[in-house]
Amino acid sequence: MQDQPFRVIVIGAGPAGLYLARALGAAKIDYVVLERASSAFLERGNHLLIFPHTVRLLHQIGLYDEAKKRSYKLSGKIDMTKSGYVLSDYSMWHLLQERHGYPTLPIQRYDVLEMLYKSIPSREQRIKTGAKAISIKETDQGVEVELEDGTTETGSVVIGADGVHGITKKYIEEAVSKTATESTDTRWLDIPTTSQYCSIYAEGTNTKKIPSGIFYETRDTGRAIQLGADNDMLRVIMYKRLPQQMSGSVSYTAEQMEEFAEALFDMAVAPGVTLGEIWPDFHKHTARLVNQNEGFTKHWHTGRVVITGDASVCTSSVNGLGVNCGLHSAVALANQLQKAVSSLAGNPSTESLREAFARYQHIRGGELQAIYNQAYSSMRQLTWDSWKDWFIDRFLRRWIGSDFLVRKYLNPLICKGQILSYVPFEDVPAPLPWRRTPEASANEDKKSEPLVVGQAQ
C-alpha cells in the first residue's frame, strides 16, 4: 500500500460525508464515498438551520448562491407557551447577519445533500450508493472495507461519517478496547449515546397562511414544537420526552408517529393556530419519527480509521447546530489530512496519521464540548424538564434578552468557525473578524491552478 496513491474511503454520504468529498477533491486526495442507501439524497422531512459560519463554508466551495436559492429569508423568532401566548418576539437572525456578513439559511436536508452531491466532479464514480459496509480491516499499510455484496474497497484511511450507530464507531470502540490500557486522559467527555426525547420531522402545505420567515418555538412540560413557514410550505419539528431513557437504534411505525402527533394537537404552532389544525396538511410519506440521540465519544480514531460528525459527538437538534457541527468537524479533519499528505513525498505512516487524527480531535473536541453542554441544557429548558429549567426559559431568558444571548454565545461560536486552510476565497465583509482564514489569500498566486471546483452542474 505504501507504493499506491493515498486513498480515503469515506463511509456515509450525509452532509459531512459529501462535504468531505469536496474538501478531499480540493486537496487533490483520491477518495471514494460509500453510502448504504439507494440514493445520496433521499427525500426526508428534516429541516436544517445553516448558521453564518457554515454558510461561509458553502461559499468557500462555490455553493453560496445555490444555497440561497434553495432557502428563504428569516425575519424573526417568536417564543410561545402551548396556549399561543407570546413570550418573546425578536430578530436574532438580523443581528447575526449584521455582525458576520452571512445570513442564517433555513433549508431542507435533502436540498443540502443534492446541492453537495451535484457539485462533485465524477460523482457517479466517486459516490457509490447501495454500498453497505459490513467490516473494516486495518493494517500498518492500509485499510480494507468489505461490502455486503461481497466486494471490497481498499485504501489508506477510513473516515466514518456514518452516524451514531454506524460501523466505523463500533470498529474503533472494539479496537481501542482490545489494545488500550485504562486511559488516564480526562480531556474528553465519554458519554454513551442515549435518547431521552423523540421527534417528528415533517413538511407540509401552509393552508393557514402562517407568516413566512418567522421561526416559532412553543414550549410545555415534556414537549415542544419548532415551526418555520416559507410562503406555501411549512416545516416542523416536534419534541416529546420518552417514558424512559433508550439506547441503540429504534424504528417507529406510521401508527406510532400518528399517536405522537396527536399528543401535541392542543399546542399552538403560531398565534391562533394549533398543531391539530395543520397536521392533516403535512406530507406523511416523508415525515419521520426518530429518537433524539445525545452522546460524546471519547475515542475518535485508531491509526488509520477516524470518525466525524454525529459518530463522534451527537447533540439534539433543538438548537439547530447539529449539521453545522458536522460540517465544521469534516473541515477540521480535511485540513489535518491535507497537511499530512502534502508534507511528504510518499504516503504518511500510520503514526503520522495517528498524530494528524489526534490534532483533529484536539481542535474539535474542546469546541464541541461547549456546544454539547449548551444543546443538552437547551433541550431541557425548552421542555421545562425541571423547575429550574422552567424558570430559566420562562423568565431568566426574557430578562437577559436575545441581544445579550447572541453576543455571549452565538457570536463567539460563529467567529471560531472552521475553514479549509488550503482553499483561497474572498469572504463577505463583516464587522466581526473570523478567527480562522485560509492560509493562502484569494489574491495570491493568481497563476496557480485553482483548487475549488466550480458551481453545481
Residues belonging to the active site: 226
Distance CA 125, CA 127 (A): 6
Is 41 strand, coil or helix? coil
Q: Give Rg (Cα) of the chain.
A: 22
Torsion of CA 413, 414, 416, 417, to 10 degrees: 120
- Selection from 307, 245, 248 nearest residue 10 by Cα: 307
Produce one character per residue of 42-69: b if its CB has 16 or more CB atoms within 10 Å, e if not. eebbbbbbbbbbbbbbbbbbbbbebbbe
Q: Are 166 and 263 in contact (CB under 8 A)?
A: no
Cα 256 to chain centroid, rounded = 26
Neighbours of 77 (CB within 10 A): 18
Pairing between strand 268-270 and 273-274? Answer: antiparallel
